[in-house]
Amino acid sequence: MTETFKALVIENTDGNYKSEIQDLTISDLPDEPVLVDVAYSTVNYKDGLAITGKGKIVRDFPMVGGIDMAGTVVNSLDANYKPGDKVLVNGWGFSETLWGGYSQKQRVKSEFLTRVPDGFSLKDTMAIGTAGYTSMLCVLALEDAGVTPDQGDIVVTGAAGGVGSVAIAILAKLGYRVVASSGRTSEVDYLQSLGAAEVIGRDVLDRDARPLEKGRWAGGIDSVGSKTLATLLAETKDEGAVAACGLAGGTDLPTTVMPFILRGVRLLGVNSVTCPNQRRDQAWARLSQDLDVVKLNEMTTLEPLSRLPELGEEILSGKIRGRVIVDVNA
């Protein structure tokens, strides 16, 4: 009898969008050179958009969802990988045009694989996932722009979410004074436990700012966009920098050129999906060095594959705190 395994399949037939767990066989998988036994995946904001269909993420149907995966190589036509190798994938079009990590097995191109860094388990890498790896890309962008801990406060928006939580933990460990901006007053203790020195309400930044306001931030990591990012730019000090990676509050940016031309503020775009392998490897190496695994565990919950349809709704409604690992075999 042909062996079957489980996967979350997203379909869109005649406008009827649905995500459900289905049984697949190896022959259903894409014809790619590396077969991976998947152990864990994650739930990121983008996964929520793909699972629910509330964002136009999936381009080809049927699609196996999941922008992340971590697992063990079963066999490989590429000599760089051998059975037993521990690998992970972040992005590269997973859950958009390529079948992704919400599957107990997956076949992928070898150039999309990242080796699991020493010191991390497969589960740790998915506690980090795309959200956490993007946080590190944002930290690297701020460092490249010359932002250092002695220059003043760094603000992190969408603080209780995935990108925000990991960013706070990394920045605090690196010695920055971190101010967390969150809409969830109930999460003040949580944000402080990750290393936030101060917590401010979401509304402090989500407002109509003047083109320039009193300089308050040496830098920022923004996963919200819209008025929040515009206020952050207006409040960034001379020669400061803001890494922008998200749109949880909207895709617009109602700002002016004033912060750029009068204060030399830098707006740094961060894209994790097609980020080159060299930068990915750098980010993962830095994560293994600069992210406290105890704090990572504090911000993480573990969920089974079967809960994905609900989890997709929950992340979009801002109900998920920190990071979610998906055990695809539970």
Provide the binding-site residues for ligand NDP, judged by CB under 6 A. 44-46, 130-131, 134, 158-164, 182-184, 202, 206, 223-224, 245-249, 270-273, 315, 318, 320
Residue placing its CB nearer to ligand NDP in the complex, 139 or 245 = 245
With CB atoms as reference, the residue minimizing the distance to ligand NDP is: 161
Least separation, in Å, of the C-beta of 73 and ligand NDP?
25
| Distance (Å, whole) CA 20 – CA 18 | 7
Instruction: Give the strand pairing for 105-108 and 34-43.
Output: antiparallel
Shortest CB 42 distance to ligand NDP, Å = 9
Q: How far apart, in whole angstroms, are the C-alpha atoms of residue 141 and residue 132? A: 14
CB of 44 to ligand NDP, least distance (A): 4
In the complex with ligand NDP, which residue's Cβ is closer, 146 or 201?
201
CB of 121 to ligand NDP, least distance (A): 21
Give CA–CA dist 243/150, Å, rounded: 18
Residues 6+ apart with CB under 8 A from 143: none
Q: How far is the CB of 63 from ligand NDP (least distance, A)?
A: 18
CB 62 within 8 A of CB 9: yes
**Residue 67: DSSP 8-state:** S
Cβ of residue 292: shortest distance to ligand NDP, in angstroms? 18
- Comparison of 131 and 170: residue with beta carbon closer to ligand NDP: 131
Of the pair 122, 311, the CB lying nearest ligand NDP is at 311
Q: Tokens at residue 9, please?
A: 């399949």
Nearest to 7, CA basis, from 62, 49, 73: 62
Q: How far is CA 104 from CA 63, 66, 197, in A?
A: 14, 12, 41
Nearer to ligand NDP, 44 or 106 (CB): 44
Please name which of 274, 245, 243, 328 lies closest in space to residue 89, comparing C-alpha atoms: 274
Cβ 163 to ligand NDP shortest distance, Å: 4
CB of 150 or CB of 189, closer to ligand NDP: 189
Taking a C-beta distance cutoff of 8 angstroms, is the pair 21, 306 a contact? yes
- Using DSSP, state whether 71 is helix, strand or coil: strand
CA distances to 70, 133, 187, 268, 305 from 101, rounded to whole Å, are 8, 16, 30, 29, 11
The least CB distance from residue 191 to ligand NDP, in Å, is 8
Peptide bond into 62 cis (omega under 30): yes
Q: Which of 30, 32, 114, 27 is nearest to 77 (CA)?
A: 32
Query: What distance in Å separates the CA atoms of residue 193 and residue 258, rounded to the nearest whole number?
Result: 36
Looking at the Cβ atoms of 44 and 151, the one nearer to ligand NDP is: 44
Ramachandran angles phi, psi of 212, nearest 5°: -135, 135
Minimum distance, C-beta of residue 56 to ligand NDP, in the bound complex (Å): 13
Cβ closer to ligand NDP: 70 or 270?
Answer: 270
Specify the residue, 41 or 134, whose C-beta has the smaller distance to ligand NDP: 134
Helix (H, G, I), strand (E, B) or coil at 262: helix
